[in-house]
Amino acid sequence: LVRVPWQEAWMAKRVMDVGSLGVIFPFCSTVERAKQASRACRYPPLGCRGCGPTLAQLAWGLDESKYYDWANQNMLCIVIIEEESAVKVVDEIAQIPHIDLLFIGTSDLSFSMTGDKRNVQTPAVQAAMAKVLAAGKKNKIPVGCPAGSAEQIKSLVGQGFRFFQAQPEIKFLQQ
């Protein structure tokens, strides 16, 4: 999985063309941005991914005649819901074809809603997270979020989350 800096098709193309099977798109705060992300991950007619996958074909051991269909079936498109504006349209975002996972950027969501990243546990932010989780469940799309410990993961799994971002290695080294 590779996180690109924005939902531009050319940015996603570069990481997919070297063999990544998943692209994480930040700030998918509108339906249009989420559609751009989805389309960037698929070859026509499903999307607008440009041709040039020689390295990816080699990485996955496929010749050109098989690679395009295989890539369309196996690419993972993850959109990050990290602004209040995204939460407002998350039901529509979750209905976009080929969005494979909704990931909640909890700190940025908290910043967007409260002005402080440490307010993830406030009722408003928790309600926003629940709304994203409900949209994912309704549309059979897994939902993920950051998790800082095994205990937190257990709690989040109980709520219905299925994908987790672990702490960066530096955090483990600091402990």
Q: Are 13 and 50 in contact (CB under 8 A)?
A: yes
Task: Specify the residue for token string 């098709």.
Answer: 9
Q: What is the pLDDT of residue 172?
A: 67
Q: With beta carbons less than 8 A apart as the criterion, state whether 46 and 28 touch.
A: no
Report pTM: 0.93
In the predicted structure, residue 50 carries a pLDDT above the cut 80: yes
**In the predicted model, what is the mean pLDDT of the chain?**
94
Give the pLDDT band of residue 35 (cuts 50, 70, 90).
very high
State pLDDT tens for residues 122-175: 999 999 999 999 999 999 999 999 998 889 999 999 999 999 998 777 776 777
CA distance 175 to 170: 9
